[in-house]
């Protein structure tokens, strides 16, 4: 199960392959890994974190566990996080989708018999002249984790939804 992050400023691609399920927790854990990989200077230079999201089931703007984890991530980083969602059928504008297309062409016809072979191939692709940073996560993620309506009310208080695009533009400020 892949999770990709493209830093649009530097062109660096970060790819983590999971060995269980693609869940909200898997997605946010990968954001946390990306954050810890940045230098102190890089973290200080970021005024806020803008994340363009594909609106999949594990990271939609109504997914309770995802939003809870993103609020926690904002508190951890001490940065405002803006979630910008692509509308359905607009994946051609999503740079991570273009990365997946390049990867598919790169390993076209290769027998990906095991994780090591797959990871080795991903490491040799390039995106904007850079090789991706590739990891394998062996953590097992549980599906179906959710919050109660009461718990979600507290999370919703932390979300600033754009009044014109409430499903597509969400700002989370650190506490």
pLDDT, tens only, 16-58: 999 999 999 999 999 999 999 999 999 999 999 999 998 888 9
Mean pLDDT computed over 128-135: 95
Residue whose structure tokens are 């089931």: 57
Give the pTM: 0.91
Neighbours of 9 (CB within 10 A): 9
Query: What per-residue string of b and e applies to 140-165 under the rule 16 or more CB within 10 Å gives b?
Result: ebeeeeeeeeeebeebeebbeeeeee
Cα dihedral sign, 13-28-37-86: positive
Q: Are strands 159-161 and 48-53 parallel, antiparallel or unpaired?
A: unpaired
Three-class DSSP category at 5 = strand
Q: Residue 109: pLDDT above 90?
A: no
């Amino acid at each position: 199960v892949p999770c990709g992050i493209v830093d649009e400023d530097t062109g660096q691609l970060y790819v983590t392959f999971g060995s269980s399920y693609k869940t909200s927790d898997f997605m946010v854990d990968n954001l946390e890994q990306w954050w810890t990989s940045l230098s102190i200077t890089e973290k200080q230079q970021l005024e806020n974190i803008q994340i363009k999201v594909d609106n999949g089931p594990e990271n939609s703007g109504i997914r309770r566990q995802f939003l809870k984890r993103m609020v926690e991530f904002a508190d951890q980083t001490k940065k405002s996080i803006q979630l910008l969602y692509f509308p359905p059928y607009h994946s051609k504008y999503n740079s991570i989708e273009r990365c997946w297309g390049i990867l598919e062409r790169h390993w076209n016809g290769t027998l990906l018999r095991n994780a090591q072979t797959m990871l080795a191939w991903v490491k040799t692709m390039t995106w904007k002249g850079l090789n991706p940073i590739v990891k394998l996560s062996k953590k097992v993620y549980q599906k179906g984790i959710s919050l109660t309506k009461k718990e979600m009310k507290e999370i919703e208080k932390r979300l600033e939804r754009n009044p014109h695009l409430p499903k597509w533009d969400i700002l989370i400020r650190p506490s």
